Amino acid sequence: MLDRKVAQLLNEQVNKEFYSAYLYLDFSNYYYQEGLDGFGNWYKIQAQEERDHAMLFIQYLQNNGEAVVLEAIAKPDAVLDNLKAPLTEGLKHEQYVTGLIHTIYGAAHEVKDFRTVQFLDWFVKEQGEEEKNAEDLIKKYELFGGDPKSLYMLNSELSARVYTAPSLTL
Ligand code: MG
């Protein structure tokens, strides 16, 4: 059995990861609607990754004999009124998620639950990558987004992203 607070935070993270998937699906839909199918593809795959994260938290809870409680997933609340908006909202969201992971990490460390700490190590590293990806997208958009030809090339680059399963297995 896990510490009650740690188990609760892990359960809450399941919902946060599904919300992330929902948010990125919203971004994906926005870009498809705007005709930028490459950006749409990039965020559709990002949404798949977030679903994978949720499933990993579920699996970890189940491996530890914990009940999984699924709560309602909130409506995506980012205002998408220009092509750059999803990119900046995405970075903000990843920074928020990093904070959530760090909170669980801290709670697990406090009760010397080093197994959970080890499980979360992958997510700590993953968040570093997520923030870097989000920052890179913003930089590229700032460099190339203002010119139609360059935007077309960037869109083509993002259309090449393919889904890969998470490197963490439980
Ligand atoms: Mg995630």
Domain that holds residue 53: 4-70+79-159
Q: Over the stretch 81-93, which tens digit does the pLDDT of each residue have?
A: 999 999 999 999 9
CA 118 / ligand 1 centre spacing (Å): 17
Distance 35 CA to ligand 1 centre (A): 26
Report yes or no: 50 and 58 within 8 Å, Cβ to Cβ.
no
Q: Tell me, in angstroms, the distance from the centre of ligand 1 to residue 105's CA.
A: 15
Q: 62 lies in a domain? A: yes
For 19, other C-beta atoms within 10 Å of its C-beta total 21
Assign 37 a pLDDT band (cuts: 50, 70, 90).
very high
Collapsing DSSP states into helix, strand and coil, what is residue 108? helix
Please state, for a pLDDT cut of 70, what percent of the chain lies above it. Answer: 100
pLDDT at 1 over 90: no
**CA angle, 60 as apex, 52 and 165 as ends, to 5°?**
25
* Å from CA of 20 to ligand 1 middle: 7
Residue linked to tokens 């360059």: 150
The CATH number for 149's domain is: 1.20.1260.10
**What is the reported pLDDT for 151?**
98
Does residue 167 lie in a domain region?
no
Calculate how far, in angstroms, residue 49's C-alpha sits from the geometric centre of ligand 1. Answer: 7
Is position 166 within any domain? Answer: no
For residue 168, tell me if it sits in a domain: no
Q: How far apart are CA 130 and CA 167, in angstroms?
A: 14
Residues 6+ apart with CB under 8 A from 78: 23, 26, 27, 85, 86, 89, 93
Radius of gyration of the chain (CA): 17
Q: What is the pLDDT of residue 112?
A: 98
Average pLDDT over residues 125-150: 97
- Average the pLDDT over 115-134 and give the result: 98
Give the number of domains in the chain: 1
Amino acid, res. 63: N
Across the chain, what does the average pLDDT equal?
97
Quick check: is 35 in a domain? yes
Q: What are the residues whose beta carbon lies below 5 Å from ligand 1 (ion)?
A: 50, 53
Neighbouring residues of 87: CB distance < 8 A, sequence distance ≥ 6: 134, 137, 138, 141
Torsion of CA 10, 137, 48, 27, to 10 degrees: 100
